[in-house]
């Protein structure tokens, strides 16, 4: 079938320099009109003879299987694993989500990022208990079966390691890697579990109980001090991730979920909530997750993650398939609430166009943004800039760097520029 | 009272319980001897520290055998987060940067060495703490570290932090 000539020449509505098109075109395209016309550019010509039949339509398909797996051809969609100290410390590892190979907002469970300070424990769920003790009226414990009977909540939230994007924060020259290495310590899931408030109220927190030490049931017994206010607000003990039991890598059989707070505080394999009157100053809140500032002093208890965005399509290591129409697509998030706005520049920040945000835009969750774009084949500097509901806007890399000691690689949320060469190669740059 | 109204009354009573606590109240009492040592943490003021003691000399031997491989022969080489500062590897060495010395003991006792966590005794962890503090010049070489002396160690970087939670709560810094 030939394309309808009446829609074959869409009127392009430009929104900013560098070929950025109006997001309204995207919305109209969903109905028909210009979007269909753009799609029609790739319509195949009708063949003369009956084509040969592929084999799979001539034989019975495969039998059912109990747990579905990705297509064999997608076997290269993997987390990027970094073991910074190699054999010397294999239990210390990072695994980055390959955002450049994913679309949508939910991270598949097998691709959720991991940061391990002591490896993944071989934990027996029958022997696992969650204890609530310290400054409480009634020290109590729960096994998994007991928690299963509690009223649960379901909420979609991102988790981001406070060290996400650390290569961009500290490497003198931009590293040419994909979004798995550059921004992969970030994922987004629908979590289901029991509000911590319900469990703390059952134990009865004494008036002097202001902080709670959360401890994991893993080799290093990872521990973080958390203000009671956060636990009484929106925290929960997550038992399910995207509908199924939490994966061993994510804290099976239960983890703490603190919406918007840095990943390390969302303690996996949660076994103890010890109520205290002050923070314990654990190793992770003393040195690992404090930030040294430009003036040599440090900041501590920097819990929430700042507003941030990354264009995933196109992104570094990709190659453009020639000039013409593309949809710019990326993810935005903030630990302070919802994403209010994402702007895109295709001319190095000279002009900006507002991207369409995929509904629902949820607080402290990944938001997918999109904008149609006609790439002319010229050198192009692409950037996205997110603003959250509090009005906070992503900084440039140079203004972020100016706040911190050169060694700091935590809480990096600067704008990510991608340079597209005339040949169509997409490269990481600092701009 | 009929059986039906007994059941209804029981159901109402349990709903009232749920409303009080927001849940079914299935927590089981936790006895004091049921929670392992790592379910709590040594606090900066010394609460939670177990009895024991050690010196830098004792610690040096343990360090050479079990720690130097990752943290470096003298504590500054690394490659992994050397605890003695200043060094060229890690800007936040435990014995110099961390605000409280109690953290050094607590972390060693529960998490170190990486491949055999919790294998060190309390005395060994106190000795290693003394060794690290001594190497950083925070205590004298001959000082003995105990549950009583450790909280009194004045860490040099303690007053060099801004408490962001206390200052602005959950607003990202």
CATH number of domain containing B104: 1.10.760.10
Domain count, chain B: 1
Residue-level pLDDT at A29: 52
Count CB neighbours of A395 within 10 A.
19
**Contact check, Cβ <8 Å, B98/A281:** yes
Q: What is the distance between the alpha carbons of residues A416 and B163, in angstroms, rounded to a whole number?
A: 29
Residue at token pair 């009446």: A6
B117/A290 CB distance under 8 A: no
Give chain A's mean pLDDT: 94
Could you read off the pLDDT of A293-302 as tens digits, one per residue?
Answer: 999 999 999 9
At residue A420, the pLDDT reads 98
* CATH architecture assigned to A308-428: Sandwich (2.60)
CA distances from A235 to A194, A260, A261, A369 (A): 9, 10, 10, 27
Domain-embedded: residue B120: yes
Total-model pTM: 0.92
User: Is B35 within 8 Å of A272 when comparing Cβ atoms?
Assistant: yes
When pLDDT is cut at 50, 70 and 90, the band that residue A33 belongs to is very low
Tell me: the pLDDT tens digits for B121-166?
999 999 999 999 999 999 999 999 999 999 999 999 999 999 999 9
Confidence of residue A28 (pLDDT cuts 50, 70, 90): low
CA atoms within 13 A on the CB side of B4: 0
| CB–CB contact B117 A118 (8 Å) | yes
pLDDT at A157: 98
- Model confidence band, residue A260 (pLDDT cutoffs 50, 70, 90): very high
Query: What is the tens place of the pLDDT at every residue in A330-353?
Result: 999 999 999 999 999 999 999 999
Note the pLDDT of residue B9. Answer: 52
Chosen from B18, B170, B171 to mutate, greatest number of chain A CBs within 10 A:
B170
Residues of A in contact with B111 (CB under 8 A): 117-118, 219-222, 283
> Nearest CA of chain B to the CA of A347: how many Å?
29
pLDDT attached to residue A24: 85
Contact A344, A387 (CB under 8 A): no
In a domain, B20, yes or no: no
Domain boundaries, chain A: 111-283, 308-428
Residues 6+ apart with CB under 8 A from A72: none
Q: What pLDDT does residue A431 have? A: 85
Chain B closest CA to A88's CA: distance in Å? 7
Which of these ranges, A44-53, A242-251, B29-38, has the smallest mean pLDDT?
A44-53
Residue of B nearest to A233 (CA): B170
CB environment A123-162: b (16+ within 10 A), e (fewer)? beeeebbbbbbbbbeebbbbbbebbeebebeebbbbbbbb
- At A64, the pLDDT band (50, 70, 90 cuts) reads very high
pLDDT value of residue B21: 61
The C-alpha of B132 sits at a distance from chain A's nearest C-alpha, in angstroms, of: 15
Q: Judge whether B113 lies within some domain.
A: yes
| Interchain proximity A287–B92, CB inside 8 Å | yes
Residue A37 has pLDDT above 50, yes or no: no
Q: How sure is the predictor about B15, in pLDDT bands with cuts at 50, 70 and 90? A: very low
3-state percent breakdown (helix, strand, coil) of chain A, nearest 5 = 20, 30, 50
Q: What is the CATH number of domain A111-283?
A: 3.90.420.10
Residues of A in contact with B94 (CB under 8 A): 283, 286-287
Nearest to B165 among A117, A118, A227 (CB): A227
Average pLDDT, integer, range A174-183: 98
B79 pLDDT more than 80: yes
Q: Which pair of tokens denotes residue A357?
A: 């945000």
Closest by CA position to A372, among listed A22, A62, A11: A22
Predicted pLDDT of residue A98: 98
Q: Are strands A244-245 and A426-428 parallel, antiparallel or unpaired?
A: unpaired
The mean per-residue pLDDT over the stretch A117-135 comes to: 97
Using a CB-CB distance cutoff of 8 angstroms, which residues of chain A are in contact with residue B96?
none
Write out the residue range of the structural domain in which residue B121 sits: 37-168
Q: Is residue B7 one of the residues assigned to a domain?
A: no
Instruction: Pick the range with the lowest mean pLDDT from A27-41, A81-95, B157-171.
Output: A27-41
Is the pLDDT assigned to residue B8 strictly greater than 60?
no
Inside any domain, residue B12: no
DSSP class of residue A264 equals G
Which residues on A lie below 8 Å from B110 (Cβ)?
Answer: 220-221, 223
Residue B10 covered by a domain:
no
A131 to B35: CB separation less than 8 angstroms, yes or no: yes
């Amino acid at each position: 079938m030939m394309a309808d000539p009446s829609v074959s020449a869409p009127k392009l509505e430009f929104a900013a320099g560098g070929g950025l098109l109006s997001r309204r075109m995207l919305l109209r395209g969903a109905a028909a009109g210009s979007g269909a016309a753009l799609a029609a550019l790739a319509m195949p010509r009708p063949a003369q003879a009956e084509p040969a039949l592929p084999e799979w339509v001539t034989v019975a398909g495969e039998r059912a299987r109990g747990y579905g797996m990705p297509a064999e051809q997608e076997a290269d969609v993997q987390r990027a694993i970094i073991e910074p100290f190699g054999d010397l410390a294999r239990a210390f590892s990072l695994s980055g989500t390959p955002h450049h190979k994913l679309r949508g907002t939910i991270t598949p469970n097998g691709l959720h990022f991991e940061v391990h300070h002591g490896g993944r424990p071989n934990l027996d769920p029958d022997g696992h208990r969650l204890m609530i003790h310290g400054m409480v009226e009634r020290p109590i414990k729960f096994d998994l079966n007991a928690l299963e009977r509690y009223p649960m909540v379901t909420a979609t939230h991102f988790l981001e390691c406070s060290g996400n994007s650390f290569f961009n924060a500290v490497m003198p020259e931009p590293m040419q890697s994909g979004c798995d290495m550059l921004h992969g310590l970030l994922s987004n899931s629908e979590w289901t579990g029991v509000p911590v408030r319900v469990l703390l109220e059952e134990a009865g927190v004494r008036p002097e109980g202001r902080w709670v030490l959360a401890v994991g049931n893993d080799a290093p017994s990872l521990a973080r001090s958390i203000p009671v206010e956060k636990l009484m607000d929106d925290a929960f003990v997550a038992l399910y991730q995207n509908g199924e039991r939490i994966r061993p890598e994510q804290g099976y059989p239960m983890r703490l979920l603190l919406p918007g707070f840095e990943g390390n505080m969302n303690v996996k394999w949660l076994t103890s909530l010890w109520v205290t009157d002050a923070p314990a100053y654990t190793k992770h809140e003393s040195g690992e997750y404090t930030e040294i500032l430009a003036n040599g002093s440090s900041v501590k208890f920097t819990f929430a993650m700042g507003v941030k965005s990354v264009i995933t399509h196109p992104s570094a290591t990709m190659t453009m398939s020639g000039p013409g129409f593309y949809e710019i697509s990326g993810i935005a998030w903030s630990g302070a609430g919802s994403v209010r706005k994402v702007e895109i520049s295709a001319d190095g920040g000279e002009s900006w166009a507002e991207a369409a945000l995929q509904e629902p835009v949820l607080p402290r969750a990944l938001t997918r943004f999109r904008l149609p774009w006609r790439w002319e084949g010229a050198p192009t500097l692409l950037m996205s800039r997110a603003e959250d509901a509090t009005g906070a806007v992503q900084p440039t890399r140079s203004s972020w760097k100016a706040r911190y000691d050169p060694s700091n690689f935590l809480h990096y949320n600067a704008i990510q520029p991608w340079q597209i060469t005339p040949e169509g190669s997409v490269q990481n740059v600092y701009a | 009272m009929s059986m039906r109204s007994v059941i209804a009354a029981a159901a109402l009573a349990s709903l009232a319980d749920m409303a009080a606590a927001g849940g079914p109240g299935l927590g089981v009492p936790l006895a004091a001897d049921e929670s392992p040592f790592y379910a709590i943490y040594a606090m900066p003021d010394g609460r939670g520290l177990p009895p024991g003691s050690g010196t830098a000399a004792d610690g040096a031997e343990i360090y050479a055998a079990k720690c130097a491989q990752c943290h470096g022969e003298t504590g500054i080489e690394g490659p992994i987060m050397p605890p003695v500062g200043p060094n060229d590897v890690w800007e936040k060495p435990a014995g110099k940067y961390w605000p409280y010395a109690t953290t050094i003991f607590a972390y060693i006792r529960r998490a170190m060495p990486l491949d055999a966590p919790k294998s060190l005794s309390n005395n060994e962890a106190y000795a290693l703490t003394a060794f690290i503090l001594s190497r950083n010049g925070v205590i004298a070489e001959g000082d003995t570290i105990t549950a009583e002396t450790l909280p009194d160690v004045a860490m040099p970087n303690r007053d060099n932090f801004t408490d962001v939670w206390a200052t602005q709560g959950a607003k990202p810094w």
